[in-house]
């Protein structure tokens, strides 16, 4: 390895070490920290991220990247070194385009806005949050200018979360399946009484829930020698290397789904990180390539595997043994239908597979309209409710179950939402590609065998880390681009059976 490349890797590894150290402090804050520790912890995290940012934007790093680009000109695109350099260049340019003062001001504004939003939501008072959202929007526009774009400022925003994605591409994808989803939900709405979710709404001892859910994700292939599971208020997955991946869960003693499907979901994120190649661990090339691809993994294990009938034909007897009083007399068929209930809910995080993407489309459209000035902040509640009604046939009774429900805008994360929907679409595209090579996957699920799927994911997605963007990965796997029709087919097939459409 050349001296330049050695120095570059050493520098990047130190930046990654600092970011991973910050991730440990954040995990501890959410899962372990006593309440008194908040203020000093915020300061420690701020110091770590400031030093990491300094190192990630230093002239020294810029010079090393320049030199490495000259050395590696013409190198194999798929090689680890060429890919590391692409990622390093992208991260460096993105980090250096934003002035330090701007980043500090935006961080301060979003910290304040988060508090204000939380209060506004609790009090169902949008006007309290509106002036903060206006300032966030104004700074977000400046952020887009700093980052740069060709067609639409929104391109610069979504690019932070889904590299290479554009507003036009998202619009094409969303427009191509919105009518089918509205139609499907309409059909289900006419026969919604056919399926009951009562089986999952009973008293379930949380320690038994935990035992069962941990067993499931261990069977999926999550490696507990390189990870652990804990309780937190908001479930998440974080990692400090491929060797240390942390999942968190929230338990409800009167509702089975949040912990069980939540842990399957987080284990999908976690297996992605665990599957990153050992050779790139500790470098910025390691880990998930985009939020959309990450979500494709969590949704695949949660929904395509975890809500499938073959899976439950294997797992349900054990769940019945775990909760004989609650489920002893509920048939497999009824239980499977219960976990696949479709409901026109107001809250995105509680949405089912059929309605989820509509919740996202609504947000994407409003974000585009805000950024291009078509919708004013003060008009958001009315716009929200009107579109919600037209997509889902119901109107939110208040703003806290409407426009105020999500944390993202208060955190300055405009451009983030589409990745959830893209993840749903990709989960089916990728799964279908695996199924093409391994047509027996469903039969395997029915006997508790998941390693064919997991190994396929490691080989085709996980091990690459950030080597390929989501579009490149999708082209390699499917030969095409992100396409919503497999997802629509998947939903139609499933709900035809669940609801007898």
Closer Cβ to a second copy, 172 or 228, answer by number: 228
3-state helix vs strand vs coil in the chain, percent to 5: 70, 5, 30
Judged by CB under 8 A, does residue 37 bind a second copy? yes
266 is catalytic: yes
Judged by CB under 8 A, does residue 436 bind a second copy? no
Which of 110, 140, 166, 241: binder of a second copy (CB under 8 A)?
A: 241
Judged by CB under 8 A, does residue 41 bind a second copy? yes
- Conformation bin of residue 448: beta by default, left when phi > 0, alpha when psi is -120 to 50: left
Judged by CB under 8 A, does residue 350 bind a second copy? no
Judged by CB under 8 A, does residue 198 bind a second copy? no
Judged by CB under 8 A, does residue 235 bind a second copy? no
Which of 44, 58, 197, 232: binder of a second copy (CB under 8 A)?
A: 44
Binding to a second copy, residues 123-152 (CB under 8 A): none
In angstroms, rounded to a whole number, what is the distance separating the alpha carbons of residues 54 and 72?
25
User: Could you tell me which stretch among 171-179, 235-243, 390-398, 483-491 binds a second copy (CB under 8 A)?
Assistant: 235-243
In angstroms, rounded to a whole number, what is the distance separating the alpha carbons of residues 234 and 31?
10
Judged by CB under 8 A, does residue 442 bind a second copy? no
For residue 59 the two structure tokens come to 């002239």
In the shown chain, the binding pattern of residues 252 to 291 toward a second copy, with x for contact by CB under 8 A and - for none, equals -----------------------------xx---------
Which of 4, 8, 9, 20: binder of a second copy (CB under 8 A)?
A: 20
Residue 352 is given by DSSP the state -
For residue 49 the two structure tokens come to 């991220």
Contact indicator for 14, 51 with CB cutoff of 8 Å: no
For residue 273 the two structure tokens come to 């990180």
User: Could you tell me which stretch among 42-50, 74-82, 290-298, 454-462 binds a second copy (CB under 8 A)?
Assistant: 42-50
Closer Cβ to a second copy, 235 or 292, answer by number: 235
In angstroms, rounded to a whole number, what is the distance separating the alpha carbons of residues 29 and 24?
9
In angstroms, rounded to a whole number, what is the distance separating the alpha carbons of residues 63 and 57?
11
Which of 5, 30, 33, 310: binder of a second copy (CB under 8 A)?
A: 33
CB of 341 to a second copy, least distance (A): 35
DSSP string for residues in 357-397? HHHHHHHHHHHHHHHTTSS-GGGHHHHHHHHHHHHHS---S
Which of 108, 172, 203, 228: binder of a second copy (CB under 8 A)?
A: 228
Judged by CB under 8 A, does residue 18 bind a second copy? yes
Q: Which whole-number Å values give the CA distances from 442 to 312, 426, 453, in the listed order?
A: 11, 19, 10
User: Could you tell me which stretch among 134-142, 211-219, 222-230, 486-494 binds a second copy (CB under 8 A)?
Assistant: 222-230
With CB under 8 A as the rule, give the number of residues binding a second copy: 37
Contact indicator for 76, 82 with CB cutoff of 8 Å: yes
Q: Which whole-number Å values give the CA distances from 274 to 288, 304, 463, in the listed order?
A: 10, 20, 9
Judged by CB under 8 A, does residue 500 bind a second copy? no
Which of 1, 3, 39, 70: binder of a second copy (CB under 8 A)?
A: 39
Catalytic residue among 266, 302, 353, 365: 266
CB of 243 to a second copy, least distance (A): 4
For residue 124 the two structure tokens come to 């169902």
Judged by CB under 8 A, does residue 40 bind a second copy? yes
Contact indicator for 143, 132 with CB cutoff of 8 Å: no
Judged by CB under 8 A, does residue 225 bind a second copy? yes
In angstroms, rounded to a whole number, what is the distance separating the alpha carbons of residues 334 and 316?
11
Contact indicator for 405, 380 with CB cutoff of 8 Å: no
Closer Cβ to a second copy, 241 or 355, answer by number: 241
Spatial CB neighbours of 128, under 8 Å, sequence gap ≥ 6: 116, 119, 120
Judged by CB under 8 A, does residue 240 bind a second copy? yes
The set of catalytic residues is 266
Tell me which residues touch a second copy (CB under 8 A): 13-14, 17-18, 20-22, 24-25, 28, 32-41, 43-44, 47-48, 51, 223-228, 240-241, 243-244, 281-282
């Amino acid at each position: 390895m050349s001296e330049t490349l050695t120095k570059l890797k050493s520098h990047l590894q130190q930046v990654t070490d600092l970011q991973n150290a910050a991730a440990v402090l954040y995990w501890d804050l959410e899962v372990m920290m006593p309440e008194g520790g908040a203020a000093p912890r915020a300061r420690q995290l701020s110091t770590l991220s400031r030093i990491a940012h300094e190192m990630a934007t230093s002239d020294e790093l810029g010079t090393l990247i320049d030199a490495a680009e000259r050395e590696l000109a013409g190198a194999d695109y798929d090689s680890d070194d060429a890919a590391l350099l692409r990622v390093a260049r992208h991260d460096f340019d993105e980090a250096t385009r934003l002035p330090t003062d701007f980043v500090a001001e935006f961080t301060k504004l979003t910290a304040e806005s988060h508090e204000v939003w939380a209060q506004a939501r609790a009090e169902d008072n949008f006007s309290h949050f509106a002036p903060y959202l206006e300032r966030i929007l104004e700074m977000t526009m400046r952020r887009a200018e700093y980052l740069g774009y060709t067609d639409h400022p929104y391109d610069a925003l979504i690019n932070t979360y889904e590299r290479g994605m554009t507003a036009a591409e998202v619009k094409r994808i969303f427009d191509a399946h919105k009518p089918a989803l509205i139609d499907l939900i309409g059909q289900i709405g006419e026969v919604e009484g056919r399926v009951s979710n009562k089986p999952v709404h009973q008293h379930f001892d949380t320690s038994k829930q935990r035992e069962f859910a941990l067993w499931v994700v261990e069977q999926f292939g999550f490696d507990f020698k390189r990870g652990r599971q804990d309780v937190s208020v908001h479930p998440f997955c974080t990692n400090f290397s491929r060797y240390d991946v942390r999942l968190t869960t929230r338990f409800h003693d009167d509702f089975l789904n949040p912990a069980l499907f939540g842990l399957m979901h987080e284990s999908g994120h976690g297996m992605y990180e665990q599957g990153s190649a050992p050779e790139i661990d500790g470098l910025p090339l390691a880990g998930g390539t985009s939020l959309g691809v990450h979500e494709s993994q969590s949704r695949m294990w949660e929904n395509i595997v975890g809500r499938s009938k073959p899976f439950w034909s294997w797992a349900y007897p054990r769940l019945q043994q775990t909760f004989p009083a609650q489920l002893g007399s509920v048939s497999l068929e009824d239980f499977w239908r219960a976990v696949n209930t479709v409901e026109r809910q107001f809250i995105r995080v509680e949405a089912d597979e059929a309605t989820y993407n509509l919740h996202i489309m609504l947000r994407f459209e409003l974000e585009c309209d805000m950024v291009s000035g078509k919708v004013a902040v003060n008009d958001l509640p009315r716009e929200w409710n009107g579109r919600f009604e037209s997509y889902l046939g119901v109107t939110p009774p208040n703003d806290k179950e409407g426009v105020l429900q999500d944390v993202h805008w208060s955190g300055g994360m405009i451009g983030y939402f589409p990745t959830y929907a893209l993840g749903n679409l990709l989960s089916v595209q990728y799964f279908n590609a695996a199924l093409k090579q391994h047509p027996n996957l469903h039969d395997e699920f029915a006997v508790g065998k998941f390693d064919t799927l997991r190994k396929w994911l490691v080989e085709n997605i996980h091990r690459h880390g950030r080597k390929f963007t989501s579009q490149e990965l999708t082209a390699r796997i499917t030969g095409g681009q992100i396409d919503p029709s497999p997802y629509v087919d998947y939903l139609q097939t499933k709900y035809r059976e669940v609801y007898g459409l």
